[in-house]
């Protein structure tokens, strides 16, 4: 069940929202759910929902009742890899970095932030939520020793590129960047920019264009 390749990006973006929706049903003890219900809940087309489900799950929906909620949840979680555990490092233990370190929810998604790195002498050597903060020059050895492939960047924009370069040099293959800058990296590195401000601006723009 775990292979990809022909899955569209749009589908991939919808999958986590199905899961969130199913969780909310699960809390209300809804045992089965139809594609129509999911579609209505999320503002999508039922056929689209059925097709997406067919791509990630082998559970057969039954006429008149739909899918078994629990089975669907299990298949989605498994497809999205929430059961595998993957290690990550974080650079920049400032406000946002500390907030992310403090968020235990990542564990439910199979993600484990092993350690953080910073240049600030005051935080080096401390722990945030049980995770050690090391000096920057330890980054390479930790990444190599534990074969870590995911890096999270929470440093100011000005330093983001150089941190990214250091990560790649150490062996990181996927970067999640919260600094609102364009990172110039080799195309075989997966980069996801999380420009929160731009994201919020987009939302508020959407709002204005409704009037």
Partner DNA sequence: CAAATACTGTTATATTTTTATCGATAAAAA
Partner DNA sequence: TTTTTATCGATAAAAATATAACAGTATTTG
Kindly state the smallest distance separating residue 201's Cβ from a second copy, in Å.
4
Q: Are strands 174-177 and 67-68 parallel, antiparallel or unpaired?
A: unpaired
User: How many whole angstroms separate alpha carbon 16 and alpha carbon 20?
Assistant: 6
Taking the least distance from each CB to DNA, the nearer of 46 and 193 is 46
- Binding track, positions 21-60, relative to DNA; x by CB under 7 A: -------------xxxx------xxxxx-xx-xx-----x
User: How many whole angstroms separate alpha carbon 51 and alpha carbon 65?
Assistant: 17
Footprint on this chain of a second copy (rule: CB under 8 A): 3-5, 12-13, 16-17, 19-21, 23-24, 41-43, 80-82, 84, 86, 88, 95-96, 98-100, 102-103, 105-106, 108-111, 149-150, 152, 173-174, 176, 180-182, 184, 187-188, 190, 192-210
Kindly identify the residues of this chain, within the stretch 158-197, that bind DNA according to CB under 7 A. none
User: Helices (DSSP H) in 57-150: which residue ranges?
Assistant: 69-79, 95-101, 139-145
Binds DNA (CB under 7 A): choice among 27, 64, 147, 210: 64
Kindly state the smallest distance separating residue 122's Cβ from a second copy, in Å.
16
157 counts as binding DNA under rule CB under 7 A: no
Residues in contact with 33: Cβ distance below 8 Å, sequence separation at least 6, in sequence order: 22, 25, 66, 67, 69, 72
Give 14-45 as a DSSP string. Answer: HHHHHHHHHHHHHHTT--EE-HHHHHHHHT--
Taking the least distance from each CB to DNA, the nearer of 80 and 179 is 80
Taking the least distance from each CB to DNA, the nearer of 11 and 17 is 11
Max CA separation in the chain (angstroms): 63
Neighbours of 112 (CB within 10 A): 14
User: How many whole angstroms separate alpha carbon 28 and alpha carbon 41?
Assistant: 14
The site partner of 34 among DNA, a second copy, none (C-beta below 5 to 8 Å per kind) is: DNA
> Which residues of this chain interact with DNA, rule CB under 7 A?
8-11, 34-37, 44-48, 50-51, 53-54, 60-67
């Amino acid at each position: 069940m775990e292979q990809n390749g022909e899955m569209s990006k749009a589908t991939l973006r919808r999958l986590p929202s199905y899961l969130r929706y199913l969780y909310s049903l699960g809390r209300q003890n809804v045992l089965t759910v139809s594609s129509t219900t999911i579609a209505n809940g999320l503002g999508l087309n039922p056929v689209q929902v059925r097709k997406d489900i067919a791509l990630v799950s082998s559970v057969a929906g039954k006429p008149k009742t739909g899918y078994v909620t629990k089975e669907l949840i299990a298949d989605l979680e498994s497809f999205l890899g929430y059961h595998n555990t993957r290690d990550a490092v974080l650079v920049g233990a400032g406000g946002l970095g500390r907030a992310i370190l403090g968020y235990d929810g990542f564990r439910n998604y199979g993600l484990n932030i092993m350690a953080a790195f910073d240049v600030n002498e005051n935080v080096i050597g401390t722990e945030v939520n049980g995770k050690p903060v090391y000096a920057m020059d330890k980054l390479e050895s930790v990444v190599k020793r534990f074969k870590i492939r995911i890096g999270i960047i929470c440093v100011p924009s000005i330093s983001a590129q150089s941190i990214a370069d250091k990560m790649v040099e150490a062996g990181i293959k996927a970067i999640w960047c919260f600094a609102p800058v364009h990172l110039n990296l080799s195309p075989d590195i997966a980069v996801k920019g999380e420009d929160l401000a731009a994201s919020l601006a987009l939302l508020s723009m959407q709002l204005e264009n409704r009037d």
